[in-house]
Copies of this chain bind each other. A is one copy, B any other.
Amino acid sequence: MLERVEVEAFLTLAELLHFGRTAERLHLSPGRISQTIKGLEVRIGATLFERTSRTVRLTPIGHLLHDGLRPAIDQAETAVAAAVAAAQGARIRVHVGYSTPWCGDLMISAGDRLLAESPDADVTFEEIQLSDPLSGLRTGRIDIQLSELPVNEADIVAGPVLVSEPRTLLVPADHPLAEHGTATVEDLADTRLIPIRGAAPDYWQAMHFPSHTPSGRPIPHTRPVTYWHEVLGLVAAGRGVTIAAARAARYHPHPGVVHLTFEDAEPIRYGLLWLAGRQTPAVTRLAELAAGVAEETEGR
């Protein structure tokens, strides 16, 4: 097992890539950092940092160690912080994010069950924007959220799929497809899709606002918008079409907008997300409870 100083020196140096500033941050001399890292490298049996007097870089093995150690240490610190908070008699606080009203409903039910178990818990909710689905988690404001998958980020844990909703195509009432009643993904090539401008990962954008049909035809996009409620107005005005979950028809009806079920699109999947290093007992429990609620209400 590694000494505390070894872990701190390694993680800080991996972040700053500078012995002097690492020493400064840890209130140690540069020499000590050098010695500590050297000692670590002897224990591991490999160089962890490529360094000259001008540059410091992680080696592949250094990267491997960092990727494994960083979340583990974060988790340990979270555990200690939770114990300290409990010692000070702090209430359990969980801030829950959700991306759509149906996700919100599910999480509120789960939150109610958590409150039934721990009456003095403090469960709060926040709707997250599709334009920036992960920043709430990353800034630590949100502890756990139910939102659109896929999310494959190294620092984020994605729980099981809790909700799976068929995709629908939202078109103006006078659109040719509206008469037909259903749509196919190929039809998108003959429309203009309104994407939501976003800080989301590329694979996430590509999943929700595809740029090509399965056969490879390009899907024209309009200028992106920032908020979901802008989209409905634009669709009604005939400026384009958009893709949404089937339940949006119930939750977001809008005159002049017709919801067409896709014959062939993959459903939109929603799952729980939380930061790998910040999985408190309350987050774990809420995830379990939410899975229970999802199972019971399935298909409704």
Contacts and interface: CB of A to CB of B under 8 A. Distances in A.
Given A8-B1, A68-B79, A75-B71, A84 B45 contact: yes
Interface in A2-46: 2-4, 7-8, 43-46
B44 A83 contact: yes
Interface string A259-298: 0000000100001000000001100000010010001000
Contacts of A158: 160
A108 interface: no
Contact residue range for chain A? 35 or more
A72 B80 CA distance: 11
A86 B72 contact: no
Contact of A80 (B65, B71, B75, B288): B65
Contacts of A288: 152
Given A1-B4, A3-B4, A160-B158, A79 B84 contact: no
Tell me if A's interface is mostly helix, strand, loop or mixed: helix
A92 B77 CA distance: 29
Contacts of A3: 3-4
B61 A68 contact: no
Nearest to A41: B87
A176 to B, nearest CB: 30
Nearest to A76: B72
A159 interface: yes
Contacts of A291: 150
Number of copies: 2
Contact of A79 (B4, B72, B295): B72
B75 A68 contact: yes
A205 interface: no
Interface in A93-140: none
A229 to B, nearest CB: 30
Which of A4, A78, A87 is most buried by chain B, counting CB atoms within 10 A of its CB? Answer: A87
A75 B281 CA distance: 17
A187 interface: no
Contacts of A78: 68, 72
A215 interface: no
Contacts of A69: 76, 79-80
Interface of A: 1-4, 7-8, 43-46, 60-61, 64-65, 67-69, 71-73, 75-80, 82-84, 86-88, 150, 152, 158-161, 266, 271, 280-281, 288, 291, 295
